[in-house]
Amino acid sequence: MNAFSDILGYLLQTAISLYLLAMLLRLVLQLVRADFYNPISQFLVKITNPLVLPLRRVLPNVARLDLASLSLALLLQILAIASILLLNGLPLPNPFVLIVWGFIGLLSLLVNIYFFALLAVIILSWIAPNSNSPALLLLHQITEPVMAPFRKMLPPMGGMDFSPIIVFILINVIQIALRHMAVGAGLHPALVIGL
C-alpha cells in the first residue's frame, strides 16, 4: 500500500464517517423529538435531506422511526466497510454478512453518540450551568430520555445526581457486548465506524 491509497482511504472514511454521524444524529433527534428549529437540527436536516427525501417516498416513517434515515445510515456503514476492505485489497463477504456488520456498526456508533453526549452534558453543567446554547439544549434533549428512568430509580442524594454513573456502566456493558458480537460475526473492529 502506498501513501496515495492511504490518504485516499483516510479521506473516504472520514467523509463517510461524518455523513453517517449526521444521518444517525438526525435519526436520534427525530426519535427524541428534539427541537426542529434548533440551528444544529436545521443544519443536520439540510445536509441529509438530499438523500433522505427521495428515499422517503419509498420508505415512509413508521411511528417515530424514520426508515429512510435508518436505511441510509445502514447503507453508509456498509459502504464504509466495503470501501475499507477494497482499499486494503481484501475480498468482500456475502451481502448478509455485510448487513449484519453494518447493524453492529450502527448500534456501536449510536452507543458512542450517547456516551459523548452524556459526557458533554456533564462537563458543560460544570463549566456553563445556566447556558442557553443551542448545542447544550440539544444535548439535554438527546440524553434526557435515557437519563430520566435512572433518575427515578435512584433516591434523592442531597442534590447529587448519580444516574450518569449507572448510564456509563450500561454503555460500557453494551460496548463490550457489541465487540463480542462483532468478533462472533467475524468482523474486525477496525472495519467499522464506531466500534
pLDDT in the model for residue 173: 93
pLDDT in the model for residue 92: 84
70 backbone dihedrals φ, ψ, rounded to 5°: -65, -45
**What single letter denotes the amino acid at residue 92?**
L
pTM for the full predicted model: 0.86
The string of pLDDT tens digits covering residues 61-86 is 888 788 888 999 999 889 888 888 88
Q: What is the CA radius of gyration of the chain?
A: 18
| DSSP-assigned letters across all residues of 22-88 | HHHHHHHHHHTT--TTSHHHHHHHHHHHHHHHHHHTTS--BTTB-HHHHHHHHHHHHHHHHHHHHHT
The string of pLDDT tens digits covering residues 87-124 is 777 888 888 888 888 898 899 899 999 999 999 988 88
Mean pLDDT of 168-174: 92
- Distances in Å between the Cα of 138 and the Cα atoms of 118, 134, 173 are 11, 6, 25
- Residue 41 cell numbers, joined: 437540527
Domain boundaries defined on the chain: 3-191
- Residue 91 cell numbers, joined: 475480498
pLDDT in the model for residue 133: 83
Q: How far apart are CA 17 and CA 65, in angstroms?
A: 22
pLDDT cut 70: percent of the chain above it: 95
- Distances in Å between the Cα of 8 and the Cα atoms of 1, 89, 127, 140 are 11, 14, 39, 37
Q: How far apart are CA 139 and CA 145, in angstroms?
A: 11
pLDDT cut 90: percent of the chain above it: 25
DSSP 92: P
- Is residue 1 pLDDT above 60, yes or no? no
pLDDT in the model for residue 134: 86
Instruction: Give the position of cell 435512572.
Output: 150
Q: How far apart are CA 136 and CA 129, in angstroms?
A: 10
